Structure 1
């Protein structure tokens, strides 16, 4: 395949800023290569925004940050048509969503109406304003951060919005030695400012195109569908994963194969991504949630139940 070296360079570059979160970084890159979007949910101050900035600085792509607040309007994100008195015509002024890497910071601090303004561009890759359609430039990725919904001043994301995100990941608190390393690194250096791009837009697009040509056996497709359908036909679940989830899981498995320098998918690719791809798309029934059942543990239970296919080596 020949892409692993560049991908590892990208991961290592981000790790110059982010300490001890290699799996989180890998998941974010897998989503990028799959053409997906990522929701990062965690406590304040654990490095969510810094993670996204590190990715943007490591790629030679345009980057905009949108700070979501209760008074933010949809037009503040997508743009607005303004009348030009010189030409006597309306001109479209593009909003910050017209960037290649978009950070939707604290997305659940704004109203559902404003949150939903991202639905079209995340799914279709273009924005429609006043009947006119404007495409965004490839590669395009939305990385949204949010605080846990229990925090004051937050609005839960609608299910339709959650389903647009390929993955939901979290940072988690660092351990003792990682936190000490963070302090030392940020005191001694301006690590974000010192970060330089190590992958061009053209190189990234080439890798993204190659993901679609990774072989995925019919037995692996059956495995994916069995997992996703098990989330629907279950007494614990009020709302299961959609067919979009099956597609995202398959694309993510292809991208993970590329990251591991393979041109074919194996069951471990699916297992690795099942929790981040599926868990945020489920609604567990209240009576089982009160008993302590989490979405993540539910998906792990399904993985233990569904038969794993045996596939040969296609190298």
Structure 2
């Protein structure tokens, strides 16, 4: 029976890759629409994983990437390698959000506050939740699992979003975030919010490079004070990475940590007595993430 499963999955793989090759399917798309909330034209890019085209069924988690024009191609390449090649994480739809220039980008990343340092993060949060996410969910086969990633000022936005509306996304990844903003205002804000909470409602992965004065350690100290043993947050200091180089390794390790049980090793695969055991493995993961992910059939065909 084990060898039958292997043979069956191999057929699925070969058929799927043949279909992609023959039809020359392109997995990158770009869209624009007029945002009523932002009162401007907004663009975004979409990466669709290879198996998205294999059938009309199957749902995929969605990763929303701040500063999407700058980081889109190397991030999607990494995600495709981790998912479609290595089989360590599920295949993911990636939405890269265009920034419309650094001035506008910084304005939308900075939290709302009085004075010259204040920004329009609240309105951009509304744009994500009320316009962009519904549009993506309507157009694509998305699962009910969303991830938000930001680096530097984008990391400031992600951290603030986590404090303001932690249930809007299932996981937040803040890479070397600019938490020095407004004299470490988010650290003070976190202390006020967390002291009245019993547990965290979403995952937060926060990282720090070898940069000085980012304000990250103060924020992490607040988390450690109120939730020292809560597995929903983690912090990693990459001492050997600078502010630019930390991006790729932080995303990789955050996704591997988030989906640590996803990979089925060769040894584990051959412990399954039937295809039902394989399916049950992923049913448990679906329950853990409270959503439905597509079963990565072709990954097993490579074992």
TM superposition score normalised by structure 2: 0.27
TM superposition score normalised by structure 1: 0.26
